Amino acid sequence: MKIFIDADGCPVVDITVRIAKANSIGCFIICDTAHEFRKDGAETIVVEKGADSVDFRLVNLVSQGDIVVTQDYGLAAMCLARKAVPLSQNGLVFNDKNIEELLFSRYVSKKIRNAGGRLKGPSKRTAEQDKRFEETLLKLIEK
């Protein structure tokens, strides 16, 4: 098992790296040249800046049983196809049952934005969200 982090705007990188290090699990941060950063306890893989370049690199690296931390529903769907376990920054484990609804929601939101509509953005991140993420990640590692 390895842990991959889609580092584009990911607020749980530090938590993920800490848990991976404590459990002696390989941890990989995938980012593009616009978001490049390094963390002790993780290997950083930098790709060229471009639409979905991080996503495609990550999907090509992930294997069955790996954990992928992402907030991107499209990437989560591709990881599910590779038999990996995608996990959102809020502790939601993406699966075959919930991914279709989430992708449809993303599609509808994009249509609203393209038509000039506005949608409420995400609320400020809470300590409870971090705690839920950490608990879920630890459960996945224990499996």
User: What is the DSSP-derived secondary structure letter of residue 44?
Assistant: E
Cβ–Cβ < 8 Å for 3, 63: no
The type of residue at 80 is: L
User: What are the tens digits of pLDDT across the range 27-67?
Assistant: 999 998 887 788 999 999 999 887 788 999 999 999 999 99
User: What are the tens digits of pLDDT across the range 56-98?
Assistant: 999 999 999 999 999 888 899 999 999 999 999 999 999 988 8
Domains in the chain, start-ordered, CATH in brackets?
A: 2-142 (3.40.50)
